Amino acid sequence: MALCQIVGVTQNNDKEIWISEYYNTKIKILLPLQENIYQEKIILIITQKGLTTSFLSYTYLGDIVKKIIFIILLLFISIPNIKASTDTASSYVLMDLDSGRVLSEKNMHSQKLIASITKIMTCIIAIENEDINSLVTVDESINKSYGSGIYISVGEQIKLIDLLYGLMLRSGNDAAIMISTYVSKTEENFVKLMNKKANEIGMKNTCFYNSSGLDNNTRGNLSTAYDMALITRYAMQNETYRKIVSTTKYTVKTNLKTYIWHNKNKLLSTDYITGGKTGYTEKAKRTLVSTASKDNLNLVVVTLKDSDDWNTHKSLYENAFNTYKSYKVLNKKTFSVPKDNYYKNLYIKEDFYLLLKKEETHHLISHIKLEKKKNYQTGDIVGTNYIYLDDTLVGKVNIYAKSPQKSNHFINKIKNIFKRK
């Protein structure tokens, strides 16, 4: 079942009421009168009465006052409230990887130096802009590198994919410089790609100056816990990236030597951790990004300037696993808008899930906004379904249209001709 999914329409005094498949849901439909002007068509409130076998009343607000009563069996489950220890973090965020909903945070928009978690962006930019199996010849540009490295040599030949493993497992600054100069000729050009991508995915408080995360006397890469969660959420959609950051040990053979690299991310020894990136400079202090999956919960935690970051991440995850559950909020089934013939056969492409506390299921609002578009093709986007938790937007999905079956339309015309005779 889906918390907000509309599954049918019933008649009451020639008025149409949309019936939700689940409980504790408000459903609001906005229909276009003309461009940028919408009419609130329907608001449906579903309230819960009791925590065991319950009667659920569906009330249409407006001129419809008749209630439709349903019986549904609800199981009340007590969920322990475990407080996560985050005192040592200057800023942090715990985010749902699937929906992007922020579950917990502290100063998440506070801009800080981010050190080597910069390399998350470096890695995904390289994956998206170059053949990862191409052979790279190491040149003198690595001589600018200092700090942590994989210690490759000028003249050494190594595949780009191997450099990416060195970048993410060993936090190689020499790998970062070699990757950026190979992909974009210069590190400066590569950094432009990094900032362009940051802008595209909504990292509003981020500015990259280099591909490694090193900071000097004048400047270093700046971002926020929230922005770094955004790039991690984006990168985790890429299969190659996911494979790299989940790897604990990697062996590389070049024309000069063989390397065995172990991942610096100690959290990977925890069974639910799926990836991440460590970071440290004297100015930035400890920075850490990690991702986790358990019981259909997919999460990301980012901490900045946290002296006890390993324990902070574990504490936040354990709290989330004990507090939240993954609920199907929307089904990918076809539905239609009452009395609007050109809004028949609407659908979303995939089931939509949200991580919610049990008590939060009482406060969901499904807000559907449709475009004024009579002529459409199958697959056209004709609106958006916004999901609110009270007044907070926690998710949104596109609504697509299926074009009317022309053959049926033709047959109906023929039938109407004979009826008139």
| Prediction pTM value | 0.76
| Domains detected in the chain | 6-77+326-407 (2.30.140.30), 89-307 (3.40.710.10)
Known catalytic residue at 171: yes
pLDDT digits (tens, 9 = 90+) for 397-417: 999 988 765 545 555 655 566
Q: Closest Cα partner for 337 from 1, 2, 27?
A: 27
Active-site residue (options: 28, 119, 305, 325):
119
pLDDT of residue 24: 42
Q: DSSP per residue over 258-320, as a string?
A: EEEEE-S-GGGGSTTEEEEEEEEETTTEEEEEEEEEETTEEEEEEEEEETTHHHHHHHHHHHH
Q: Tell me the per-residue pLDDT of 220-247, one tens digit each, with 9 for 90 and over.
A: 999 999 999 999 999 999 999 999 999 9
List, for residues 153-177, the tens digit of each pLDDT value.
Answer: 999 999 999 999 999 999 999 999 9
Residue with more model confidence, 127 or 74: 127
Q: Which residue has the higher pLDDT, 309 or 1?
A: 309
Q: How far is CA 246 from the centre of its chain?
A: 18
pLDDT band for 342, please (50, 70, 90 cuts). Answer: low
Examine the pLDDT at 58 and tell me if it is beyond 70.
no
Given 20, 99, 145, 171, the catalytic residue:
171
Catalytic residue flag (residue 119): yes
Q: Residue 17 and residue 43: Cα distance in Å, rounded?
A: 9
Name the catalytic one among 116, 180, 212, 366: 116
Catalytic annotation on 369? Answer: no
How far apart (Å, rounded) are the C-alpha atoms in residues 335 and 348? 9
For 260, residues 6+ apart whose C-beta sits below 8 A from its C-beta are 249, 250, 251, 252
CA distance 367 to 304: 35
Of the pLDDT bands very low, low, confident and very high (cuts 50, 70, 90), residue 343 is low
Q: If you search the block for the tokens 């507090």, which residue do you land on?
A: 323
Q: 121 or 347: which carries more pLDDT confidence?
A: 121
> What sign has the CA pseudo-torsion 171, 176, 177, 182?
positive
Q: What is the DSSP letter of 362?
A: G
Which whole-number Å values give the CA distances from 366 to 2, 63, 229, 293, 363, in the listed order? 11, 21, 25, 27, 10
367 vs 130 pLDDT, higher one: 130
Comparison of pLDDT for 71 and 88, the residue scoring more:
88
